[in-house]
Amino acid sequence: MVNLGFFGGVISGIDATFIFWVIAFLVCLGITNYIFTRFFKNQKMVGTSIAVLTSVAIVYFTSRKYPNFLNDIFYSFGMDPDTILQILPWVGLVVAIVIVLVWGFAMLFMVSGAMLIISGATGLTYNQTAAIIIGTILFLLGLWMWWRRKRKLRGGGGKTPKPKRGQSYLKIQINGNGNTNPSPGTYSIKEGKNTTVKAINPGNLSYWLVNGVRYNKSSSISVNMKTNYTVVAVFGKITQPPKPRTDILINEAIQFKKWTHTQKNPKFYQNWAHYLSWLKRKRYGNSEADIMNKLYVTKKDIINVVKRYILIPN
Protein backbone atom coordinates (compact mmCIF):
# COMPACT_ATOMS: atom_id res chain seq x y z
CA MET A 1 0.00 0.00 0.00
CA VAL A 2 1.37 3.39 -0.99
CA ASN A 3 1.91 5.89 1.80
CA LEU A 4 1.07 9.34 0.49
CA GLY A 5 2.55 10.96 3.59
CA PHE A 6 2.50 14.78 3.40
CA PHE A 7 0.00 14.92 0.53
CA GLY A 8 -2.13 12.09 1.87
CA GLY A 9 -3.50 14.27 4.62
CA VAL A 10 -4.82 16.73 2.07
CA ILE A 11 -6.37 14.05 -0.15
CA SER A 12 -7.94 12.21 2.78
CA GLY A 13 -9.47 15.45 3.99
CA ILE A 14 -11.49 15.94 0.80
CA ASP A 15 -15.01 15.10 1.92
CA ALA A 16 -18.50 16.34 1.20
CA THR A 17 -18.09 19.40 3.43
CA PHE A 18 -14.86 20.47 1.76
CA ILE A 19 -16.30 20.12 -1.75
CA PHE A 20 -19.42 22.02 -0.69
CA TRP A 21 -17.42 25.03 0.47
CA VAL A 22 -15.29 24.90 -2.69
CA ILE A 23 -18.42 25.12 -4.83
CA ALA A 24 -19.79 27.85 -2.56
CA PHE A 25 -16.58 29.83 -3.03
CA LEU A 26 -16.67 29.49 -6.82
CA VAL A 27 -20.33 30.55 -7.00
CA CYS A 28 -19.63 33.50 -4.71
CA LEU A 29 -16.60 34.43 -6.81
CA GLY A 30 -18.67 34.42 -10.01
CA ILE A 31 -21.25 36.79 -8.50
CA THR A 32 -18.79 39.18 -6.85
CA ASN A 33 -16.49 39.22 -9.88
CA TYR A 34 -19.42 40.17 -12.13
CA ILE A 35 -20.24 43.08 -9.79
CA PHE A 36 -16.74 44.41 -9.13
CA THR A 37 -15.39 44.12 -12.71
CA ARG A 38 -18.25 46.31 -13.88
CA PHE A 39 -17.52 48.83 -11.17
CA PHE A 40 -13.81 48.90 -12.06
CA LYS A 41 -14.29 48.95 -15.84
CA ASN A 42 -10.78 50.16 -16.71
CA GLN A 43 -9.04 48.06 -14.03
CA LYS A 44 -10.71 44.67 -14.27
CA MET A 45 -7.91 42.85 -12.48
CA VAL A 46 -8.45 45.13 -9.47
CA GLY A 47 -12.12 44.16 -9.50
CA THR A 48 -11.27 40.46 -9.77
CA SER A 49 -8.76 40.71 -6.91
CA ILE A 50 -11.37 42.37 -4.68
CA ALA A 51 -13.88 39.68 -5.71
CA VAL A 52 -11.45 36.89 -4.72
CA LEU A 53 -10.74 38.49 -1.33
CA THR A 54 -14.45 39.12 -0.72
CA SER A 55 -15.36 35.52 -1.61
CA VAL A 56 -12.57 34.17 0.62
CA ALA A 57 -13.84 36.27 3.53
CA ILE A 58 -17.47 35.20 3.02
CA VAL A 59 -16.65 31.49 2.81
CA TYR A 60 -14.15 31.63 5.65
CA PHE A 61 -16.39 33.34 8.20
CA THR A 62 -19.50 31.41 7.13
CA SER A 63 -17.73 28.06 7.44
CA ARG A 64 -16.38 29.04 10.85
CA LYS A 65 -19.75 30.22 12.13
CA TYR A 66 -21.77 27.35 10.62
CA PRO A 67 -19.38 24.36 10.53
CA ASN A 68 -22.27 21.85 10.34
CA PHE A 69 -24.25 23.80 7.73
CA LEU A 70 -24.13 21.02 5.11
CA ASN A 71 -24.93 18.21 7.55
CA ASP A 72 -27.91 20.10 8.97
CA ILE A 73 -29.40 20.61 5.51
CA PHE A 74 -29.01 17.00 4.38
CA TYR A 75 -30.07 15.43 7.66
CA SER A 76 -33.19 17.59 7.63
CA PHE A 77 -34.17 15.78 4.40
CA GLY A 78 -33.13 12.40 5.78
CA MET A 79 -30.11 12.11 3.45
CA ASP A 80 -26.46 11.26 3.98
CA PRO A 81 -24.25 14.33 3.24
CA ASP A 82 -21.63 12.11 1.63
CA THR A 83 -23.99 11.49 -1.29
CA ILE A 84 -22.99 14.95 -2.45
CA LEU A 85 -19.59 13.46 -3.36
CA GLN A 86 -21.28 11.82 -6.34
CA ILE A 87 -22.56 15.14 -7.71
CA LEU A 88 -20.41 18.06 -6.63
CA PRO A 89 -17.11 16.88 -8.19
CA TRP A 90 -18.75 17.10 -11.62
CA VAL A 91 -20.14 20.52 -10.78
CA GLY A 92 -16.66 21.57 -9.64
CA LEU A 93 -15.15 20.27 -12.89
CA VAL A 94 -17.62 22.30 -14.96
CA VAL A 95 -16.91 25.43 -12.91
CA ALA A 96 -13.15 24.86 -13.28
CA ILE A 97 -13.52 24.59 -17.06
CA VAL A 98 -15.52 27.83 -17.11
CA ILE A 99 -12.80 29.58 -15.09
CA VAL A 100 -10.11 28.41 -17.52
CA LEU A 101 -12.13 29.49 -20.57
CA VAL A 102 -13.02 32.91 -19.14
CA TRP A 103 -9.95 33.87 -17.07
CA GLY A 104 -7.29 31.25 -17.92
CA PHE A 105 -5.23 28.76 -15.94
CA ALA A 106 -3.67 31.51 -13.82
CA MET A 107 -7.03 32.25 -12.20
CA LEU A 108 -7.74 28.53 -11.74
CA PHE A 109 -4.45 28.09 -9.85
CA MET A 110 -5.14 31.15 -7.70
CA VAL A 111 -8.69 29.97 -6.89
CA SER A 112 -7.54 26.42 -6.12
CA GLY A 113 -4.72 27.72 -3.96
CA ALA A 114 -7.05 30.05 -2.08
CA MET A 115 -9.47 27.19 -1.36
CA LEU A 116 -6.68 24.96 -0.04
CA ILE A 117 -5.47 27.78 2.20
CA ILE A 118 -9.02 28.28 3.50
CA SER A 119 -9.45 24.54 4.10
CA GLY A 120 -6.20 24.45 6.05
CA ALA A 121 -7.01 27.56 8.07
CA THR A 122 -10.54 26.37 8.95
CA GLY A 123 -9.62 22.74 9.60
CA LEU A 124 -11.76 21.36 6.75
CA THR A 125 -8.86 19.12 5.72
CA TYR A 126 -7.00 16.72 7.99
CA ASN A 127 -3.44 17.88 7.27
CA GLN A 128 -3.81 21.61 7.70
CA THR A 129 -0.11 22.37 7.19
CA ALA A 130 0.02 20.48 3.90
CA ALA A 131 -3.10 22.23 2.63
CA ILE A 132 -1.77 25.68 3.47
CA ILE A 133 1.67 25.01 1.90
CA ILE A 134 0.28 23.46 -1.30
CA GLY A 135 -2.37 26.18 -1.52
CA THR A 136 0.24 28.91 -1.15
CA ILE A 137 2.38 27.34 -3.89
CA LEU A 138 -0.60 27.11 -6.28
CA PHE A 139 -1.72 30.65 -5.49
CA LEU A 140 1.75 32.11 -6.05
CA LEU A 141 2.14 30.10 -9.26
CA GLY A 142 -1.16 31.49 -10.57
CA LEU A 143 -0.17 35.00 -9.51
CA TRP A 144 3.16 34.66 -11.33
CA MET A 145 1.42 33.40 -14.51
CA TRP A 146 -1.00 36.33 -14.38
CA TRP A 147 1.82 38.85 -13.80
CA ARG A 148 3.84 37.40 -16.67
CA ARG A 149 0.87 37.55 -19.01
CA LYS A 150 0.12 41.17 -18.07
CA ARG A 151 3.79 42.11 -18.45
CA LYS A 152 3.91 40.61 -21.92
CA LEU A 153 0.62 42.25 -22.87
CA ARG A 154 1.93 45.67 -21.84
CA GLY A 155 5.12 45.19 -23.82
CA GLY A 156 7.36 44.50 -20.83
CA GLY A 157 8.88 41.39 -22.34
CA GLY A 158 9.10 39.64 -25.67
CA LYS A 159 7.62 40.67 -29.00
CA THR A 160 4.13 41.94 -29.60
CA PRO A 161 1.95 38.87 -30.20
CA LYS A 162 0.94 38.16 -33.77
CA PRO A 163 -2.51 39.68 -34.36
CA LYS A 164 -5.45 37.46 -35.17
CA ARG A 165 -6.93 37.51 -38.65
CA GLY A 166 -8.93 40.68 -39.21
CA GLN A 167 -7.33 42.49 -36.27
CA SER A 168 -4.39 44.83 -35.63
CA TYR A 169 -2.58 45.74 -32.45
CA LEU A 170 -2.51 49.18 -30.87
CA LYS A 171 0.32 49.62 -28.37
CA ILE A 172 -0.07 52.65 -26.09
CA GLN A 173 2.86 53.95 -24.05
CA ILE A 174 3.51 57.03 -21.93
CA ASN A 175 6.67 59.01 -21.33
CA GLY A 176 6.68 61.37 -18.36
CA ASN A 177 4.07 62.23 -15.75
CA GLY A 178 0.71 61.59 -17.35
CA ASN A 179 -1.81 58.99 -18.44
CA THR A 180 -4.07 58.12 -21.36
CA ASN A 181 -7.50 56.73 -22.09
CA PRO A 182 -7.35 53.85 -22.98
CA SER A 183 -4.63 53.21 -20.41
CA PRO A 184 -1.14 52.11 -21.55
CA GLY A 185 -1.05 48.56 -22.87
CA THR A 186 -1.48 46.52 -26.04
CA TYR A 187 -4.96 46.16 -27.52
CA SER A 188 -6.31 43.95 -30.29
CA ILE A 189 -8.64 46.02 -32.50
CA LYS A 190 -10.63 45.23 -35.62
CA GLU A 191 -8.84 46.22 -38.81
CA GLY A 192 -9.98 49.48 -40.36
CA LYS A 193 -11.57 50.79 -37.17
CA ASN A 194 -10.85 54.42 -36.23
CA THR A 195 -9.42 54.48 -32.71
CA THR A 196 -8.80 57.55 -30.56
CA VAL A 197 -6.27 57.83 -27.74
CA LYS A 198 -6.90 60.71 -25.33
CA ALA A 199 -4.54 62.39 -22.89
CA ILE A 200 -6.10 62.47 -19.42
CA ASN A 201 -4.12 65.60 -18.49
CA PRO A 202 -3.62 67.29 -21.89
CA GLY A 203 -2.24 70.47 -20.31
CA ASN A 204 0.95 68.56 -19.47
CA LEU A 205 1.20 66.87 -22.90
CA SER A 206 4.16 67.85 -25.09
CA TYR A 207 3.59 65.76 -28.24
CA TRP A 208 2.57 62.38 -29.63
CA LEU A 209 4.71 59.75 -31.33
CA VAL A 210 2.91 57.45 -33.77
CA ASN A 211 5.15 54.66 -35.10
CA GLY A 212 8.13 56.89 -34.43
CA VAL A 213 6.68 59.93 -36.21
CA ARG A 214 6.21 63.04 -34.06
CA TYR A 215 2.88 64.89 -34.02
CA ASN A 216 2.14 68.24 -32.41
CA LYS A 217 0.43 68.70 -29.08
CA SER A 218 -3.25 67.76 -29.09
CA SER A 219 -5.66 66.49 -26.46
CA SER A 220 -6.17 63.31 -28.48
CA ILE A 221 -4.94 61.51 -31.56
CA SER A 222 -6.75 59.10 -33.87
CA VAL A 223 -5.44 56.25 -36.01
CA ASN A 224 -7.11 53.98 -38.53
CA MET A 225 -6.23 50.39 -37.66
CA LYS A 226 -5.13 49.28 -41.12
CA THR A 227 -1.86 48.15 -39.55
CA ASN A 228 -0.21 47.84 -36.12
CA TYR A 229 0.45 51.13 -34.34
CA THR A 230 2.60 52.23 -31.42
CA VAL A 231 1.33 55.47 -29.90
CA VAL A 232 3.48 57.25 -27.31
CA ALA A 233 2.16 60.18 -25.27
CA VAL A 234 5.09 62.36 -24.15
CA PHE A 235 4.31 64.46 -21.08
CA GLY A 236 6.29 67.27 -19.49
CA LYS A 237 8.15 70.29 -20.81
CA ILE A 238 10.66 69.46 -23.53
CA THR A 239 13.41 72.08 -23.55
CA GLN A 240 15.27 70.43 -26.40
CA PRO A 241 14.23 67.61 -28.75
CA PRO A 242 16.17 64.36 -28.27
CA LYS A 243 19.23 63.99 -30.49
CA PRO A 244 18.74 61.40 -33.25
CA ARG A 245 21.15 58.52 -32.65
CA THR A 246 22.15 58.00 -36.28
CA ASP A 247 25.66 57.33 -34.97
CA ILE A 248 24.36 54.08 -33.46
CA LEU A 249 22.72 53.16 -36.78
CA ILE A 250 26.00 53.77 -38.63
CA ASN A 251 28.17 51.84 -36.14
CA GLU A 252 25.80 48.90 -36.17
CA ALA A 253 25.62 49.00 -39.99
CA ILE A 254 29.42 48.78 -40.19
CA GLN A 255 29.47 45.84 -37.78
CA PHE A 256 26.59 44.20 -39.64
CA LYS A 257 28.40 44.56 -42.98
CA LYS A 258 31.48 42.88 -41.51
CA TRP A 259 29.34 40.06 -40.19
CA THR A 260 27.78 39.41 -43.61
CA HIS A 261 31.24 38.75 -45.04
CA THR A 262 31.61 35.85 -42.62
CA GLN A 263 28.64 34.15 -44.28
CA LYS A 264 28.70 31.97 -47.40
CA ASN A 265 26.49 34.37 -49.36
CA PRO A 266 27.07 37.93 -48.03
CA LYS A 267 24.80 39.64 -50.59
CA PHE A 268 21.86 37.56 -49.38
CA TYR A 269 22.08 39.27 -45.97
CA GLN A 270 23.03 42.77 -47.13
CA ASN A 271 19.56 44.31 -47.16
CA TRP A 272 17.20 46.37 -45.08
CA ALA A 273 15.25 43.42 -43.58
CA HIS A 274 18.30 41.56 -42.26
CA TYR A 275 19.76 44.80 -40.92
CA LEU A 276 16.55 45.38 -38.91
CA SER A 277 16.81 41.82 -37.59
CA TRP A 278 20.38 42.63 -36.54
CA LEU A 279 19.18 45.71 -34.62
CA LYS A 280 16.45 43.65 -32.94
CA ARG A 281 18.99 41.05 -31.83
CA LYS A 282 21.08 43.87 -30.40
CA ARG A 283 17.96 44.87 -28.39
CA TYR A 284 17.40 48.28 -29.93
CA GLY A 285 13.71 47.42 -30.30
CA ASN A 286 11.19 44.74 -31.19
CA SER A 287 10.07 46.35 -34.47
CA GLU A 288 11.07 49.10 -36.87
CA ALA A 289 8.74 51.55 -35.10
CA ASP A 290 10.20 50.57 -31.73
CA ILE A 291 13.76 51.10 -33.02
CA MET A 292 12.85 54.54 -34.38
CA ASN A 293 11.23 55.44 -31.08
CA LYS A 294 14.21 54.37 -28.95
CA LEU A 295 16.91 55.88 -31.18
CA TYR A 296 14.88 59.02 -32.10
CA VAL A 297 15.42 58.39 -35.80
CA THR A 298 13.07 58.28 -38.78
CA LYS A 299 12.50 55.60 -41.36
CA LYS A 300 14.36 57.77 -43.84
CA ASP A 301 17.41 57.76 -41.54
CA ILE A 302 17.43 53.96 -41.50
CA ILE A 303 17.04 53.75 -45.29
CA ASN A 304 19.89 56.22 -45.85
CA VAL A 305 22.21 54.25 -43.56
CA VAL A 306 21.34 51.01 -45.34
CA LYS A 307 22.02 52.56 -48.76
CA ARG A 308 25.30 54.18 -47.71
CA TYR A 309 26.88 51.56 -45.47
CA ILE A 310 25.34 48.22 -46.50
CA LEU A 311 24.18 48.24 -50.12
CA ILE A 312 27.19 50.07 -51.59
CA PRO A 313 30.00 47.54 -52.36
CA ASN A 314 33.20 47.96 -50.37
Angle at 295 between CA 252 and CA 308, to 5 degrees: 45
Low-confidence ranges of the chain (pLDDT < 70): 1-23, 41-45, 63, 66-93, 95, 99, 102-103, 118-128, 130-131, 148-164, 238-241, 313-314
Question: Tell me, what's the pLDDT at 129?
Answer: 72
Pairing of strands 167-175, 185-190: antiparallel
Question: Tell me, what's the pLDDT at 288?
Answer: 84
| SS3 of the chain | CCCCCCCHHHHHCCCHHHHHHHHHHHHHHHHHHHHHHHHCCCCHHHHHHHHHHHHHHHHHHHHHHCCCHHHHHHHHCCCCHHHHHHCHHHHHHHHHHHHHHHHCHHHHHHHHHHHHHHHHHHCCCCCHHHHHHHHHHHHHHHHHHHHHHHHHHCCCCCCCCCCCCCEEEEEEEEECCCCEECCCEEEEEECCCEEEEEECCHHHEEEEEECCEEECCCCEEEEECCCCEEEEEEECCCCCCCCCCHHHHHHHHHHHHHHHCCCCCHHHHCCHHHHHHHHHHCCCCCCHHHHHHHHCCCHHHHHHHHHHHHHCCC
* pTM above threshold 0.75: no
Question: Tell me, what's the pLDDT at 197?
Answer: 92
Question: Tell me, what's the pLDDT at 42?
Answer: 58
Question: Tell me, what's the pLDDT at 12?
Answer: 46
The alpha carbons of the chain give a radius of gyration, in whole angstroms, of 28
Integer angstrom CA distances of residue 278 from 56, 100, 145, 220, 264 = 50, 39, 31, 35, 17
Question: Tell me, what's the pLDDT at 1?
Answer: 37
Question: Tell me, what's the pLDDT at 10?
Answer: 44
Q: Is the dihedral of CA 294, 300, 303, 308 positive or negative?
A: negative
Tell me if 111 sits within 8 A of 99, measured CB to CB: yes
